[in-house]
Structure formats: C-alpha cells, structure tokens
Amino acid sequence: MTPLPESELKHLPGAWTLAPDHKSIHHSYKFKTFAEAWSFMTHVALLAEKMDHHPDWSNVYNKVDITLSTHEAGGVTQRDLALAQAITDFVWVPE
C-alpha cells in the first residue's frame, strides 16, 4: 500500500484537513456534552473495527480530535479517506 499523491488529497470528505506534512488528515469535532462525544467515539470505534483501520484520537469533555494515517504506508491512503467518509456520513455529527 502506498500513500496517495497530493492531487488525490485536494478534495477531502466533509471538513477534514490535510496536515502540513501531507502524511495525515485531521478533523476536530465539538459536541454539546461529554455523552454525545462518547457516543460518537463508540460509533467510530465500531466503524474502525469493521474496516480494520483505527484512528489516532483524543477526547476532552465534549471535543474529539481524530487523525487518520496509514502508518505502514507512511501517509494517507484510500483506507484513510474511506474511514473519513464513513465518519463524515454520520447524520448527527456536527461539521
């Protein structure tokens, strides 16, 4: 698996952004409560497990930061874009 060329990273799903080093994509989410943030993380965990591709993430109260990168490829691959799109497709997720 090889990283995607920069030309394929110009149109990322939703409000995902490309890291300055072009080796990962990132999104920060803010929810009304900790319970909403935790519920979101639970949904993402189930998606990630199903897709066998797990995010780097952190949670502080109502905020969730997610970074996606395919470490063995050394950058962003189609697997990262697919998981980002699946997360973006959650109807109730704020952008």
Task: For 17-75, write each residue's pLDDT tens digit.
Answer: 999 999 999 999 999 999 999 999 999 999 999 999 999 999 999 999 999 999 999 99
Alpha helices for the chain (secondary structure H)? 34-51, 78-88
| Per-residue pLDDT, 36 | 94
Q: Report pLDDT digits (tens) over 68-89.
A: 999 999 999 999 999 999 999 9
- To the query of whether residue 27 is one of the catalytic residues in this protein, the response is no
Q: Is 6 an active-site residue?
A: no
Catalytic residue among 21, 52, 72, 95: 72
What distance, in Å, lies between the first and last C-alpha atoms of the chain?
A: 30
53 is catalytic: yes
> What whole-number distance in Å separates Cα of residue 84 and Cα of residue 50?
14
56 is catalytic: no
Catalytic position from the list 22, 36, 53, 65: 53
pTM: 0.92
Active site residue 71: yes
* pLDDT per residue as tens digits for the range 5-23: 989 999 999 999 999 999 9
Structure tokens at 5: 């060329």
Q: Of 6, 8, 49, 56, which is the active-site residue?
A: 49
pLDDT of 95 strictly over 80: no
Predicted pLDDT of residue 90? 82
Question: What per-residue confidence (pLDDT) applies to 1?
Answer: 83
